[in-house]
A = this chain, B = another copy of it.
Amino acid sequence: MPAPFVTTAVGPTALQPREDAATAHRMARSAASTTGAQLSTEAFSHWLRKRRSAHRFHVDRIPFDALQGWSFEEDTGNLVHRSGRFFSVEGLHVTHEQATPRQWHQPIIKQPEIGILGILVKEFDGVLHFLMQAKMEPGNRNLLQLSPTVQATRSNYTKVHQGADVKYIDYFVRPGKGRVLADVLQSEHGSWFLHKSNRNMIVEAVGDVPLDEDFCWLTLGQIGQLLHRDNVVNMDSRTVLACAPFPDTATGALHSDTELLSWITAERSRHDVSTRRVPLDALPGWQRSEESIDHEHGRYFRVVAVSVQAGSREVSGWTQPLFEPYGPGVAAFLTRRIDGALHILVHARVEGGFLDTVELGPTVQYTPHNYAHLYGDERPAYLDEVLAAGPDRIHYEALHSEEGGRFLNAESRYLLVEADETTAPLDAPAGYRWVTPGQLTSLVRHGHYVNVQARTLLACLRASGAAA
């Protein structure tokens, strides 16, 4: 006879509720507030201009042999840093049985270190405010954008840089300085990064927080206003914001959560994708010159190098490689209200660098040069519906930059476009499903479900006021 389970009383206060609905509602309250307690949105524009002029930023293209600390490894041709840290540019061979073409080669960024993208929050006048940073990134066209409180690779904050301390990092790596509201490893661009994850964190500060001059406190509503402007809120901010808990006000969904998870499982099971790292100098179809690595047909993206002069970063100047895509991308969710509940059409996407084969992406995620190899001559599904949509169907539209620390002039037009039964039936085709923002919010609590472009759109959706 096995021993019975007995009860050991430890004290009336040891347990806590598993879910904290209050935090989600505090997020919604912050999203509804466009009046910042610390800085009005108008004053923010002035402040951002001031930060821009306070620092000298200069980015120049340079040939590879002017890179300092970076070189092409002798036996592989991989572009690596002498410290062995930061990241490297290597080659990848992808085989995808269900795609046309079935296989391809490409350069890819390998960055095994998990960085922290963290936003510190704090209540002022009973409303959560987010501590945002004016941060220069060499790849952004306008250089300076609004970033999370902390945006640091492990090399950054363990000082492989030998630069200054990362400000506010203690709130994210030392227990007791704050209360974690969200903390999840999320993927980044699966077409450019191999298995990259960053830790997306939102931490509520305990006690007073000193305000550095490159930082400001904004409500979620104010950040939502800024998300309607082109190239202000950087990618790292957008992905962290998407991970915020948020109330689900819908009364139901077209598919139950179990059906949704089952569909994702089926999508992951039906794609045979295998990837193999290969030397960068043995990549069929890619050529290296003194200044760039290009595809033979001038497509997809190029690998280039830049030198950076800046006053507001951890170090005052450096050189580094960047990926430069050809032309802006388009990332859009088609939306529909079903019995009053907003739904968005997600696409189960295969990208060569994903850890787990498939993640949910926007309905349309299309950068003509980068994705041509995935879809061949086939015009991507729903692209025409998005491009042809009149203003009466466009709920949201803005241009945003992708990660400016790795990508040069990588911009995408992000859209939310209303569809109807003719253009986008509820009985979605293979690879597509209608989900609610609440379902997407549940999925982003976990990694490897929602890709970085869809996370940007989730943040934009909340900024549009439609998700509440």
Contact A199 B336 (CB under 8 A): no
Q: How far is the CB of A198 from chain B (nearest CB, A)?
A: 9
Q: Which B-chain residue is minimally distant from A184 (CB atoms)?
A: B265
Neighbouring B residues of A272 by C-beta, 8 Å? 112
Whether B15 lies near A258 (C-beta < 8 A) is no
Chain B nearest CB: distance from A7 CB in Å?
Answer: 5
Is A17 part of the binding interface, using a Cβ–Cβ cutoff of 8 Å? yes
Q: Knowing A112-B274, A355-B355, A392-B3 touch, does A266 contact B426 (C-beta < 8 A)? A: no
Collect the chain B residues with CB atoms within 8 Å of residue A126's CB.
none
Q: Which residues of B contact A57 (CB under 8 A)?
A: none
Chain B residues with CB under 8 Å of A255's CB are: 16
Q: B8 near A258 (CB under 8 angstroms)?
A: no
Beta-carbon contact of A341 and B15 below 8 Å:
yes
* A3-B395, A180-B262, A395-B3 as given contacts; A20 in contact with B337, CB under 8 Å: no
- In this assembly, does A445 line the interface, its C-beta being within 8 Å of a C-beta of chain B? yes
CB pair B258 A14 closer than 8 Å: no
Give min CB distance, A275 to chain B, whole Å.
11
Distance in angstroms between the alpha carbons of A254 and B18 in the assembled complex: 9
A160 to chain B, nearest CB (A): 14
**Chain B: minimal CB distance from A34 (Å):** 15
User: B256 touching A18 by the CB < 8 A rule?
Assistant: yes
Q: What per-residue 1/0 map shows which CB atoms of A236-259 lie under 8 Å from chain B?
A: 000000000100101111111111
Nearest to A15 among chain B residues (CB) is B252
Residue A355 contacts which of B185, B199, B356 (CB distance < 8 angstroms)?
B356
B261 and A15 contacting across the interface, CB-CB below 8 Å: no
CB closest chain-B residue, reference A113: B272
Query: Which residues does chain B contribute within 8 Å of A11, judged by CB atoms?
Result: 339
**Minimum C-beta distance from A221 to chain B (A):** 16
Known contacts A114-B268, A338-B8; is-contact A3 B418 (Cβ 8 Å): yes
CA A259 to CA B11, docked complex, whole Å: 20
Name A251's closest neighbour in chain B (CB-CB).
Answer: B15
The 10 closest A-B pairs by CB, nearest first: A15-B252, A183-B262, A180-B262, A114-B269, A7-B337, A183-B265, A5-B466, A18-B257, A15-B339, A3-B392
30 contacts between A and B (CB under 8 A): A2-B396, A2-B464, A3-B392, A5-B466, A6-B337, A6-B418, A8-B336, A9-B340, A11-B339, A12-B339, A14-B254, A14-B426, A15-B250, A15-B251, A15-B254, A15-B339, A16-B252, A16-B253, A16-B254, A18-B438, A20-B258, A114-B268, A180-B258, A183-B262, A184-B261, A185-B269, A197-B268, A199-B265, A355-B355, A356-B356
Given contacts A183-B262, A355-B355, could you give 8 more A-B pairs where the C-beta distance is less than 8 Å? A7-B340, A9-B340, A18-B252, A18-B436, A19-B257, A20-B256, A180-B262, A448-B448
